[in-house]
Amino acid sequence: MITNLLRRGLPALALAALPLLATAAPATADGPATAVTLPAPLNTTTLFDGIDRIPAAAESRDRYVRTAFKHWNAGAIPDDGCNTRAETLLQEAVDYPEIAPGCKLTGGRWFSLYDDTWVTAATGLDVDHLVPLAESWDSGASTWTARRREAYANDLASPTSLIAVTAKSNRAKADKDPAEWLPPAVGYHCTYVTGWVETKLRWSLTADDREREALLGLAEDCPGATVSYKTVPFDTLK
């Protein structure tokens, strides 16, 4: 997470809060489901090998409803008054916003990597699930427990799961995979693809043949690219 935040230019004030994020207590049966403190080894490999590690399977959207993924929950620090969306915006702010009661954000500045656009109001941003909720459902989340789906939808522990982008670019993406949509910012494509693969591997999701072919084709333009991920075990979020 720290590497990702530094790359995005998070100010020193926000960096001071990182120890709190890193040591947040595990969720209780009554608290928000979170993957923040899960102990797991870091796996690093080439982008091509990472794609090969994603299990192949046909996709199905039967019975999907967005409300199957509880979000936004209380976030990594349940007592700070900011939900997962707000905590993501605070993590990714280039110029830190003011935080009013109720975690209302005013001021601040963000850079939307999908479309190379500066945004100066939190209301102009969406927090996107890099691998959309519907896509995760198609790829295995339909069989998960409600707590695992909640943890997926609020995954602040990974630098690739959630990203603040312009509402316009997020709505254009919708629930499409890389075979159907890529960010308008061509220079971001390799980062987008590696993040997609890392998220699929982190959460043990599958890919269908069309998606896999698209990922392999995109990887050809990303020489030397690697993926790093920590798998979220199934038995930790029953």
The residue that leads in pLDDT, 2 or 205, is 205
CA distance 187 to 108: 25
Tell me the per-residue pLDDT of 3-30, one tens digit each, with 9 for 90 and over.
333 333 333 333 333 333 333 334 444 5
Averaged pLDDT, 119-137? 98
pTM for the model stands at 0.85
For 181-201, what is the mean pLDDT? 98
Tens digits of residue pLDDT in 98-116: 999 999 999 999 999 999 9
pLDDT of 36 > 80? The answer is no
Q: Provide the percentage of residues in the chain whose pLDDT is more than 90.
A: 81
Give the confidence band of 170 by pLDDT, cuts at 50, 70, 90: very high
| C-alpha–C-alpha distance, residues 148 and 174, integer Å | 22
Measured CA to CA, the distance from residue 84 to residue 74 in angstroms comes to 6
The confidence score (pLDDT) of residue 214 equals 98
pLDDT grade for 235, boundaries at 50, 70 and 90: confident
Cα separation, 201 vs 182, in Å, equals 20
pLDDT (0 to 100) of residue 38: 52
Least confident of 33-42, 101-110, 200-209: 33-42
CA dist 117 and 164 (Å) reads 11
Q: What values do phi and psi take at 229, rounded to 5?
A: -160, 155
217: pLDDT confidence band, cut at 50, 70 and 90?
very high
pLDDT attached to residue 173 = 98
Mean pLDDT of the chain: 88
Query: Does residue 236 carry a pLDDT above 90?
Result: no
Residue 67 sits at φ, ψ, to 5 deg, of -70, -5
